[in-house]
Amino acid sequence: MKLQRLFSVLHYCAFISGCALFAACLLHVSICAAHECASLLSITYARDNESEIIRLVFDKQVTTKSAVLEKNSARGLSPRVYIDFYDAYLTKNVPKTIVPASSTILQLIRIGQREPKTVRLVCDTTHALKRSSYTIVHDPRSPTVTVNFPVSQPRRSNKKKHLDRVKPSQRTLPIISEALPPSPSVAGSLPLPTSDIGTATTRRCIIVIDPGHGGKDPGAIGYNGIQEKDVCLSLATALKTRLEQEAWCTVQMTRDSDTFLSLSQRAQFANERNADIFISLHTNAHDDQSLTGVETYYLDFSSDEDARKVAARENFTSPEAIGDLEVILFDLVQSSKINASSILAGHVHNALVRNLSQRYSTTRNLGVKHAPLRVLIDAEMPCIIIETAFITNPDESKRLTDPDHQRLLVEAIAEGIRNFKTSSAFASYSMESKRF
């Protein structure tokens, strides 16, 4: 009897061992599959005078999708932002929760493996946010994703209703960071309500739009012989028309015809008009006609070799000579301008990617990048260059001449500028430069 009992115990132990071995094999297969994905190596939280920053470091580039969720009292859930990282795997050494110290926006940061190939970041917030309240920046130099929350976030409140009960003589100007209404659909192409925006500052925001190239400089020659200078002028004209529907801004163009301007003349044009924002429009080009995508640049040292090539093309120089421009930058760096420009780039680029992705499923997000671009060095205000598409790609080249596609780009750029205009970064820069 004892011997029979012993055999039963041994049989049970063998069964348990077999199950454990089988589970280990499954885990091994799962981990091996996960290695085909990007591994999340670390997540950190930091805060500076401008933003609360979450930085995630992967071992490969990832794609993302994000959304905001309202407070759910029934389930005891706070307002929150979530970001999904596709084809990604959460390594065991990454903390699953972070409590942001002294944060005015984030209550708790949580991260987990939502699906076998999807990592989800959840940020419980102190109040409801809009999608335009934060930016997601993919670093082209390394597989790093940075999520920026401007420090001064507007709370959703009954402030407008309260103002309606106050006599006109008692009303005060709304703060610059007040949230704007959502942008209209491209199809509607209607002007936004601007009753509150127009009084946000003592004068209108001055925006200078710079159509790249022109005159003797055709820029890149695209598929079927279309020229970059013509596409940029057409797109800039459409953007000026769209922005002029807004009561809070005044828009001027560096050129409104097929004329040549040097890079210094373009920046000087904006400086002389005391512009608040400078937007330079371009199209990308490459020997490989299959390349597609949208990318946005702000001023700083070169972020990668491709950025150096873009800077060389736009600066009329060689990639090797970019090093000399970087030396000049050491004497010209204006941290507040560069920081504001990077946030402007993030707002505009995210709006472009979001709108383009809704229309075209194959949209490639090439990210926000930085390089020593001559026209941006000379400009004295937040400034960016938008490479709207690859003019050398047959499909994107055709779209660039399509008025409907141009309206799509224009709506996205206008949305990004509005979001930046109402951000704490713009308010801080405006106060520092004593523009208002």
- Domain of residue 338, CATH code: 3.40.630.40
Question: Could you tell me if 251 and 395 lie in one domain?
Answer: yes
Among candidate residues 150, 182, 210, the one where a domain is terminated: 150
Look at residue 133 in the predicted model and tell me its pLDDT.
76
Structure confidence at residue 335 (pLDDT): 56
Residue 294, pLDDT score: 95
pLDDT of residue 433: 60
Residue 34: what pLDDT? 43
In a domain, 63, yes or no: yes
Same domain flag for 216 and 360:
yes
pLDDT value at residue 9:
47
Residue 186 within any structural domain of the chain: no
* Cα–Cα distance measured from residue 4 to residue 340, given in angstroms and rounded to the nearest whole number: 79
Where do the DSSP E strands lie in 87-125?
88-90, 97-98, 106-115, 118-125
Q: In this predicted structure, what is the pLDDT of residue 56? A: 94
Question: Looking at this protein, which amino acid is placed at residue 380?
Answer: E
23, part of any domain: no
Structural domain of residue 76, as residue ranges?
38-150
- Between CA 285 and CA 291 the distance in angstroms is 8
pLDDT of res. 73:
83
Shared domain for 312 and 382, answered yes or no, is: yes
150, 165, 184: which is the final residue of a domain?
A: 150
Together in a domain, 78 and 211: no
Asked whether residue 60 is domain-assigned, the answer is: yes
Q: Which parts of the chain have pLDDT scores under 70?
A: 1-35, 132, 140, 152-202, 300-336, 431-436
Predicted pLDDT of residue 29? 38
Give me the pLDDT at residue 104, please. 87
Does residue 398 lie within any of the structural domains? yes
Look at residue 7 and tell me if it is in a domain: no
The CA-atom distances, in angstroms, between 277 and each of 214, 253, 334, 368, 421 are 21, 12, 15, 17, 9
Joined tokens for residue 379? 């400009």
Contact 414, 236 (CB under 8 A): no
184 domain residue, yes or no: no
DSSP string, 165-233: HS-GGG--PPPTTPPPPPPPPTTT-PPPP-TTGGGSSSSPEEEEEEE--BTTB---B-GGG-BHHHHHH
Same domain, 205 and 319: yes
Indicate the number of domains in the chain: 2
Q: Where residue 93 sits, what CATH number does that domain have?
A: 2.60.40.3500
Question: For residue 253, what are the CA distances in angstroms to 20, 142, 204, 263, 364?
Answer: 70, 35, 16, 14, 29
Looking at the fold, whether 125 and 232 belong to one and the same domain comes out as no
Other C-beta atoms within 10 Å of 380: how many? 15
